[in-house]
Amino acid sequence: MPGVKDDLNRLLGFVGSMRFGLALLLLIGVTAAGAAAWFQNGFSQSWLFRALSMLLILNLALCTWRRGKAVCLLQRHDGRVVVRLIALFVLHAGFLCIMLGFLAGSFWGRDGLISLSRGEVAQASKALGQDRTFSLRLDDFRIDTYPDGAPAQYTSRLTLLDHSNNTGAFDVTVNHPLVYQGVKIYQESYGWAVTAVSGAQSPMDSPVTVKEGDSLSIPGAQFKIRLYRFIPDYDEASGMESRSPQPRNPRIVYSVYEGDQLLDVGLAKLGQDVTINNDAHVRFTGYIPVSTLRVKTDPGALLVWIGGCLLLLGIFGALYQPLLTAKRDDREADA
């Protein structure tokens, strides 16, 4: 039917227009800046980003197809037009690859955190929600500091454990991730854990390790202690903020719960006995650093890299011919 075909051509012309593509780019940018806090897993994982990205991909695919048709008719143009048409085709193809890579990462990419104390082992599959054959063990964690005591670098010494391949030890630092099985392992941050003994009466049970945010159940009692924060260098004037990252004057901020009910909040020194209702006791005996690692997969990373190269090549090609023409015109004018 001619009428339906004409309507479809007009719709495709609108969707594939530069005006529609620029409007989508503007909408994605504004939405990403203003609505990122509305989405629990981030804007790039939201249905809105995926819907807008698919529309933009359709727009770019139509634009690239039109540029490709023009390239197939090169014999009708002079040399300067040929270079420009090829450059624009490559530019659009690069942008299309970038958006396809972003969308692939949004749908199939995974991102998770692993917190490890020295000697602890964690499976990558639990953090990613994907089947992975390897685990990570933290052998050592080091904080390098500047002369004023500020952190300069975090280094995690990891052993990669994989029954299907050889194991190995690796250093992971900020901006220098470990890559294995398509998974990037970044040094994200660090925290602290404390060792504690507890019980309903003396003698107390064997020491256990509690990380910040975790809870310790007291054997023989109905209470539990939550480690809210470890303050390495406590000063009363600084409140909850540590004066330095070095554990020079450590304190433990804890909270006491009976079931889900908050009973008390306190501040304890190392070695200090914390007594709850005269029938439960906790003593914080030591501290250890905890390394927080980010594990991430991005199946669209290669497409983004290829698209970036094509984009640069297209921009160079689009600008190169006008520059040559301008230089030639200048030479002709001087002559």
Closest CA to 45 of 1, 110, 89: 110
Confirm if 100 and 94 have CB atoms less than 8 A apart: no
Q: Which residue has the tokens 């520059």?
A: 323
The amino acid that residue 263 corresponds to is L
Residues of 172-191 as b/e, b for ≥16 C-beta within 10 angstroms?
Answer: beeeebbebeebebbbbebe
70 against 235, higher pLDDT: 235
Residue 72 has pLDDT above 80, yes or no: no
Partner residues linked to 168 by β-bridges: 160
306 against 42, higher pLDDT: 306
Q: What is the SS3 assignment for 70?
A: helix
Please state, in angstroms and as integers, the Cα–Cα distance from residue 7 to each residue in 23, 64, 150, following that order: 22, 21, 65
Residue 330 has pLDDT above 90, yes or no: no
pLDDT, tens digit (0-9, with 9 covering 90-100), for 256-298: 888 888 888 989 998 888 888 777 888 888 898 899 999 998 8
pLDDT band with cut points at 50, 70 and 90 for residue 334: very low
Of 23-27, 198-202, 244-248, 320-324, the poorest mean pLDDT is in 320-324
**Can you give the pTM of this predicted structure?**
0.70
pLDDT at 333: 43
Q: What is the SS3 assignment for 143?
A: strand
pLDDT, tens digit (0-9, with 9 covering 90-100), for 137-189: 999 998 887 887 677 888 999 999 887 666 788 999 988 999 988 899 999 88
Residue 325 has pLDDT above 60, yes or no: no
Half-sphere exposure of 80 (CA within 13 A, CB side): 8
Cα–Cα distance, 101 to 47 (Å, whole number) = 16
pLDDT at 138: 93
pLDDT, tens digit (0-9, with 9 covering 90-100), for 74-131: 655 555 667 777 888 888 889 899 989 988 888 888 888 899 988 899 988 888 887 8
